[in-house]
Structure formats: structure tokens, C-alpha cells
Structure 1
Amino acid sequence: MIARTAGGTAATLDRLGAVVVAALPACMAVANRSSPVVVGLAGLLLLAGAAAAGRPLRALLLAPLATPLGLAALAFLAWCGLSLAWSPLPALSLRTLSEFLPALAGAYLVARLAPPHLAQVAGPAAWIMAGTCAYVVADLASGLVIREALGQRVAAFAFNRPLLTMMLLVVPLAAALAASGRCGLAALAAAACAVAAWRSVSGATVLGLATGALTWAALRWLPARAGIGLAGAALLSALVLAPVEGDILARAMPDALHQRLAASSTRARVAIARSFGAAVAADPWRGAGYGTSGRFQEAPVAARIEPEMREMLAVGHPHNSFLQVWAELGIVGAALAALVMVLTLRALGPWPAPARAAALALFAAAGVVAFVEHGAWQAWWTAGVGAAIAWLRTLRHITQKP
């Protein structure tokens, strides 16, 4: 009787955790920084369910950290922590870390524990995503009257974070639906996300979706080694070239292209990249310290670059996560980040072709957005990536079934 009760409790907790993950798009549309809370809640529910069922938590949660990939990720986090020793802004560094680590912990719990239970809610998750996209399109078309009626901030860019989160989720979710034979629902979710992105002011979401779709189409039928090699070359190039991105773009982009892309503030973005790139050149080895981008103009390295370059250091972050790693963590942090990427891609080798193609498409979409958009340690993005990986591992389970 006790065992039966524990089993029922575990099943209920697992189901609730999966439902919370499925509801992430709607929650983000209502509160666009809510993903850390949503993913954290889902992770705690799933952890409680696993404990109630007597599952081996050591094998589920600790064993992956002892693999080469897990050790590389821990080494990267350890370097982040160590960099606080020379951070000129320790309070800012600690605050950034205090926001990032809980989001990372929730993302890890969901990525490890949710996949066996997500397949049951894939259909509702697709309808939630489609409905959320319809709400976004309707509110944008109405001039944001719904947001105004709800007493929320009336600004079109308020939907950017929800759309970027759905951009991460739609690739593995649609692939999981298609793999289980629900191709129509997969197409509906993908189409709804694409329409909402196109109607929004989030150019990064459009870029991410386009990059993911092109990557999936290009790598779907390639051998594992070729597809992983191409994806790895692209990601490593983005990391290696990040410190000189601004100088390259300053020389390569003509004025006519800047004028055509004026809505994307390309001139400012190039200036920001050049400023942070100059800071990397001035202190390439250890960086300014974790989380210092929020007030990078106050870091000692800022005084060592040309005065005209310093103004753009006050924007909060370099709008390029790869460049932010260089600026804050130096060549050691960049090398550890490269190692994590290489080991992550290598782990995809044994995956079934459909799951591997979806994984590479997700990494390409997330990578291109990280290259042009937000800060590296933003909790809402970290939580969204964790949920996307959970759906990706769900897809792997589905495609491995006989």
C-alpha cells in the first residue's frame, strides 16, 4: 500500500513537472523574465518525483558531471568563480552569479529529469505554443491593447524574450512531434512560431529560426562526422573571431548596408563590438572578471583603451556572448568554453540522425542569437536553453525506440 501510494505521488509530481515545462511559452508571454522561476519549479517537482519513486539520483544527476563534458563544464564554472578574485566590481559579479547559478541549476534538473515524461505532454505543449503565438500576433496587430488592459508595459519589444524562448523550444518540440507521427501538429507549432517572429520586432528571433531551419535542411542527410564538423567549425569560428568582430564588420559593411539595417542599430552594434574587442586586446589573458560587463566602463582595463572607445563600454554587455566570455574571462575562459562546445558536439555522434539534425539546428539557432543579441549570463535565456535541451533529449528517446 505504501509503495503504491509513493508510486502515485511520484507519477503526479512527474506529470506536474512536465506540464509546467510545457506551459513555459505562455508564462513567458505574460511575464517575460519568468522562465527561471518556471523551469526552477519544474525542476523541483521532477526532483521530488524522482526521489518519491526511489530513482537513482546519483546516476541521474552526479554521474554526468564526472564525464569529460561534465568536468569541462565544471572547470568553466570554476574559472568564472575564480575570476571574482580579481573582479573590480565584486558586488556586481556576485549579483550576476547569484542570478545565473539558480537558473543553471533549474535548467540542469529539467534537462536531466524531464525527458522521460515530456513525450506525454508534447501535444498540449504544441497547442500552448501555437496559442501563445496567436496571442502575440493579435496583440501586436491591435497596438498592444491586451497588454495595456492587463496593466503591462506597452512596448512591442516586450515580446522579444518570449519569442526567443519559443525559438529555442520549437525545433526539438516539432521534431519530437514529427518523430511520433504528429506531423500536422509539428507543422502548426513551427508555422505559428515563424508567423509570430515575422510580425514582431525581434530580428534575432527571425535570424535564429532561419538559421535553425537552414541548418536542419543542410545537415539532415549528412553523415554524423560531416554535420558535427561543420557545426563545430561555425561555433568555434564565432568564438575565435569574436574579439575582432567589430574591426571586421567596420571594414566589411558599407554605409548603404548600415542604412538598410538602420532598425537593427548596426552602427551602434559595430561600435560596441570594437570597444569590447579593444578591451580584450588590452587584457587578453584573464579578463576583467565574471559579470563585469554590466559596468565595464568602470573596469581598470577601460582606462587603457582609446577615449573614443570607452563610451560604448557602458551599454551593459557587448551583445555577443562569445565576446563577453573573452572580455570577462580572457583566453582561459574562451578555451574552456571551446572545450565544452567541442565535447558537446562530440557527444552527438551516436545519436540517431533525426535527433542529431535537430540538435545541430538548435545549437546553430542558439549560437547565432548569442552572437548578435543578449548577455551571456541572462537567467531567462539559460532557463530556456535548459528546457530546449530537455525536449531534445525527449526526441532522442523517441527516435531510439524500436
Structure 2
Amino acid sequence: MKAEVMPWRRSAATPVAVLLAVAPAMAVLQFRTMALAVTLALLAAVVTHRLARGAWPWPRMNPVAWLAVALLGWCGVAALWSPEPVRALQTIGGLAALLGLALMTARALAEEAAGRRLAFALAGGLALGLALAALDHATGNWLRLAVRGFPEMPAISFGLKPAVSLMVLLLPLVVAVPMAWALRAVLLAAGLAVALWLPADSAKIAAVAGLVAAGAVALLPRAAPRLAALAFAAFSLAAPLVFAFGLSQAPSLEPIPRSAAHRVLIWDFVVDRIAEKPLLGWGMESSRAIPGGSDTFGVETLDRYGLNSPEARHWFGLPSARRLPLHTHNAALQIWLELGLVGALLGAALGAAALLAAGASPAGFGMAVSAVVTGQLSFGVWQPWWVASVLLAAVVAGALRKT
């Protein structure tokens, strides 16, 4: 069916465009609203398509979609031996709903010539979100404190990290916005500058990686996606061995920020737990309930990593410095830990297939690489707001490919 331009009120792109225009700003104020907002926008897009065309936009399944379904299926199997079976089933249900809505919305947008609408909503939303993030950071988080009624929250600056991660996820898509190169360059430079300025190290790396990847696929359209897919699959499958070797060679962690040192110690704990159940894992959503995960690190571990100062001993003695707080801060290790070798094989195949598919455009490939980098350094694999954000970006990338 040939794509056609639909009136705004009858276009499935309208709810998605509205969300793109407000999502970055919304994430600055409260990033957890992203899961609900994306769900409602995708649902509205599907219903709008049904009302306008008289038929549901059933998904067109491709290798990426089938692999995602297979991974969710294995998650369902792994819920059988999970210490958190109810939470596991709830998570699987939510992720399945998000995936289904994303695939249906992608089909609906494919039947419309809506790329320009989405592109300009994306550019405007990013500009607003970057401005609000910069304003909040420059004023000592006054904006977000005001939204919350000025509570006593000394660590609220850390809360900008999810918002910046969302914006650097969307930032490479600016390459596909049909406006003057100078304007695109200004928006890309502003996004990179804000990411490098704000306190979110993983977002800094993801921002640079995403833009470099977009440039790489423009220069090497066939080689870059293939190399990225191969590297991702190899790392995902070898992650426990890679981390075990790297951690054995690690220098003293005393000079680096405590949050970064904590992440290294978490990986040390997780690698040992993976070795105990490498084939099937501990079960879906088991990261929250791994034996010993709620304990703090022993003196022997701190000594091994050179964390000997009184300040370090105090920091790692706090209840917040647990050996495994909710998730592993690395997607590959979390999948190995919870789903074992079977899950690692499916996750590696899914990520590789997604990178190959995204390589059809510089914007989409940059977005995919940004998502991969963030996933390997920050959030949990199953966090609803992050999964929703990645699916939204993927749907938009597919629609922008036609612009």
C-alpha cells in the first residue's frame, strides 16, 4: 500500500508526534512517566489508525521482532525457577504489551507519509528538553525541586541522568530531520554539549558513540553495521569471561568516583554468581533476590580493589552500597545472570539483528548504538521506562527512514 499524507486528526503519527514534542521535557521533570506516556501514545496511534482506515495495523514480523518474541518467551520459561515469579510475570506482560504496540504503530506509520511531522516534533522536543535540563543544572536543580515542592533531596542532581540518557538516545535521529544542515549541526552540538556538561558519565559515552556511529555508517554503510553486530554478539556471549579477566587486572579503584568503583564491585559479585548457574541462570527478575546481593562488600573485596581509605570504607559500609542493588548495571551480565546461556544466545542474536537492521540509515544506526552503550553501562534490562523509550526511538527511526 502506498503511503499517504493523512490529516492530523486522522493520522496515527499525531499521538507519537505529540509525545516526541514533550517527552524530553517530561523526562527532565519526572522520567518514570515515560513508560505510561509511551504506552498511551502507541495505543492512541493504533486506535487512530483503526478508526481512520477500518482495519487494525497488525505487525509485519521480521527477524528482529521474532527474536524479541523468542527472548520474551524464554523469560517466561525462566520465570518458573525465579525467586520473584510474580514480578517476573508482571514484567513479561508489560514488555509484551509494549512490544506489540510498538510493532503495530510501526505498521501504521509505514502506511503514512508522516516522517516530516515526526521529524520536526522530535527536533522541537529535543531543543526544549535540552534547554530545561541545562536550566535545571545551572540553577542547582531549582526546576525539579520546584516541581516536587522543594523537598530535602541533596542527591537530586543525579536524577538528570535518565533524562539525558533519553535525549542522547534520540539525538542521532536529528541527522534525519529535513532541515538545513546548519540547524541540524546546532542541535546536535547543543545535545552533545549538554550531555558532556551534566553529571551522567554513561550518557556522555552514549552521546559520543551514537554520533560517531551515525558518521561511521554514512562512510561505511555495509561494514559498520556488520562490525557492530559482530562485536555486540561476541561481547554478549563472552561477557562473564571478559569481565572476569578485566576485573582480575583492575588497578586500585581508590582514585575513581565511588559510584564507578561500586559498579566494578557489583560486576565482580555478579560474575561469581553467573558461574554458579551458567546454563539456565537464576530466573527472570532474580537480580533483586540473588543470595548475598543485599549485603555490603567485605573487607577482603575492598582490599583486593585498593579501597583502603577511611572515606572509602565508610562509603562502602553504607546500606546503599549493596553488592547487587536491583540490577547489574550491564545488560549482558544481567541476561547471563537471570537467563543463563540460552538467554545470552537469544539476547546476542536480538542485539546483532537490531544493529544490522538499524544500519539502513545513519540516524537509526546512531540511535541503536547509543541504546546499546547505555544498556551496557546503566539501567536494568527490563526497566519499563527505558524499554519504552528505546521502542519509541526505534519506531520513530523507522518512520524517519522515509524522509
Is the 2:95–2:384 contact (alpha carbons within 8 Å) kept by the matching residues of 1?
yes
2:347 maps to which of 337, 350, 353: 337
| 2-structure distance, mates of 1:348, 1:36 | 23
- Give the C-alpha shift of residue 55 in structure 1: 6.0
**Is 283-292 or 243-252 further displaced after alignment?**
243-252
1:90 maps to which of 77, 82, 85: 85
C-alpha offsets along residues 142-189 of structure 1, whole Å, 9 cap, x if unaligned?
1122222222564111111111111111111x1121xx2432332232
SS at structure 1 position matched to 2:279: coil
Letter in 1 for 2:34: S
Q: Using a 3 Å threshold, how does the CA distance of structure 1 residues 329 and 313 change in structure 2: closer, same or farther?
A: farther
1:378 maps to which of 383, 396, 399: 383
1:61 aligns with 2:58: yes
Letter in 2 for 1:28: A
Partner of 1:50: 49
Is the 1:92–1:292 contact (alpha carbons within 8 Å) kept by the matching residues of 2?
no
1:72 maps to which of 52, 67, 74: 67
| 1-structure distance, mates of 2:221, 2:134 | 39
Is the 2:226–2:356 contact (alpha carbons within 8 Å) kept by the matching residues of 1?
no
Is the 1:39–1:107 contact (alpha carbons within 8 Å) kept by the matching residues of 2?
no
Is the 2:70–2:346 contact (alpha carbons within 8 Å) kept by the matching residues of 1?
yes
Is the 1:18–1:114 contact (alpha carbons within 8 Å) kept by the matching residues of 2?
no
1:262 aligns with 2:257: yes
SS at structure 1 position matched to 2:402: helix
- Give the C-alpha shift of residue 380 in structure 1: 0.9
Q: Using a 3 Å threshold, how does the CA distance of structure 1 residues 393 and 297 change in structure 2: closer, same or farther?
A: same
Q: TM-score, normalised by structure 1?
A: 0.83
Letter in 2 for 1:143: G
Partner of 1:278: 272
Partner of 2:290: 296
| 1-structure distance, mates of 2:59, 2:300 | 48
| RMSD of aligned alpha carbons | 2.8
SS at structure 2 position matched to 1:208: helix
| 2-structure distance, mates of 1:102, 1:61 | 13
| 2-structure distance, mates of 1:95, 1:165 | 24
Is the 1:103–1:380 contact (alpha carbons within 8 Å) kept by the matching residues of 2?
no
C-alpha offsets along residues 1-21 of structure 1, whole Å, 9 cap, x if unaligned?
xxxxxx868625642442223
| 2-structure distance, mates of 1:98, 1:296 | 22
Is the 1:127–1:189 contact (alpha carbons within 8 Å) kept by the matching residues of 2?
no
- Give the C-alpha shift of residue 98 in structure 1: 4.5
Q: TM-score, normalised by structure 2?
A: 0.83
| 2-structure distance, mates of 1:234, 1:135 | 36
SS at structure 2 position matched to 1:285: coil
- Give the C-alpha shift of residue 327 in structure 1: 0.5
Partner of 2:337: 327
Q: Using a 3 Å threshold, how does the CA distance of structure 1 residues 8 and 360 change in structure 2: closer, same or farther?
A: closer
| 1-structure distance, mates of 2:380, 2:391 | 16
Letter in 1 for 2:285: G
| 2-structure distance, mates of 1:12, 1:219 | 31
Partner of 2:131: 134
SS at structure 1 position matched to 2:211: helix
Q: Using a 3 Å threshold, how does the CA distance of structure 1 residues 13 and 219 change in structure 2: closer, same or farther?
A: closer
SS at structure 1 position matched to 2:329: coil
Partner of 1:388: 393
Q: Using a 3 Å threshold, how does the CA distance of structure 1 residues 201 and 132 change in structure 2: closer, same or farther?
A: same
Gaps of 5+ in 2: 1-5, 302-320
Letter in 2 for 1:289: G
Q: Using a 3 Å threshold, how does the CA distance of structure 1 residues 183 and 168 change in structure 2: closer, same or farther?
A: same
Alignment of 1:228-247 (within 5 A): 228-247=225-244
| 2-structure distance, mates of 1:119, 1:80 | 37
| 1-structure distance, mates of 2:272, 2:238 | 13
Q: Using a 3 Å threshold, how does the CA distance of structure 1 residues 170 and 9 change in structure 2: closer, same or farther?
A: closer
Letter in 2 for 1:171: P
- Give the C-alpha shift of residue 110 in structure 1: 4.1
Instruction: Flag the structure with higher helix content.
Output: 1
| 1-structure distance, mates of 2:108, 2:228 | 27
Q: Using a 3 Å threshold, how does the CA distance of structure 1 residues 317 and 348 change in structure 2: closer, same or farther?
A: closer
Is the 1:14–1:45 contact (alpha carbons within 8 Å) kept by the matching residues of 2?
no
Is the 2:236–2:332 contact (alpha carbons within 8 Å) kept by the matching residues of 1?
yes
Q: Using a 3 Å threshold, how does the CA distance of structure 1 residues 294 and 95 change in structure 2: closer, same or farther?
A: farther
Gaps of 5+ in 1: 1-6
Is the 1:47–1:109 contact (alpha carbons within 8 Å) kept by the matching residues of 2?
yes
Letter in 2 for 1:244: L
Partner of 2:367: 362
Aligned-residue sequence identity (percent) comes to 26
1:206 aligns with 2:181: no
| 1-structure distance, mates of 2:47, 2:175 | 28
Is the 2:12–2:105 contact (alpha carbons within 8 Å) kept by the matching residues of 1?
no
Is the 1:239–1:338 contact (alpha carbons within 8 Å) kept by the matching residues of 2?
yes
C-alpha offsets along residues 209-253 of structure 1, whole Å, 9 cap, x if unaligned?
1111222233321141x1122111221233123213432332333
- Give the C-alpha shift of residue 104 in structure 1: 3.6
- Give the C-alpha shift of residue 326 in structure 1: 0.5
SS at structure 1 position matched to 2:397: helix
Q: Using a 3 Å threshold, how does the CA distance of structure 1 residues 318 and 378 change in structure 2: closer, same or farther?
A: same
- Give the C-alpha shift of residue 99 in structure 1: 4.5
| 1-structure distance, mates of 2:338, 2:299 | 20
Letter in 2 for 1:198: L
Is the 1:103–1:383 contact (alpha carbons within 8 Å) kept by the matching residues of 2?
yes
**Is 274-283 or 290-299 further displaced after alignment?**
290-299
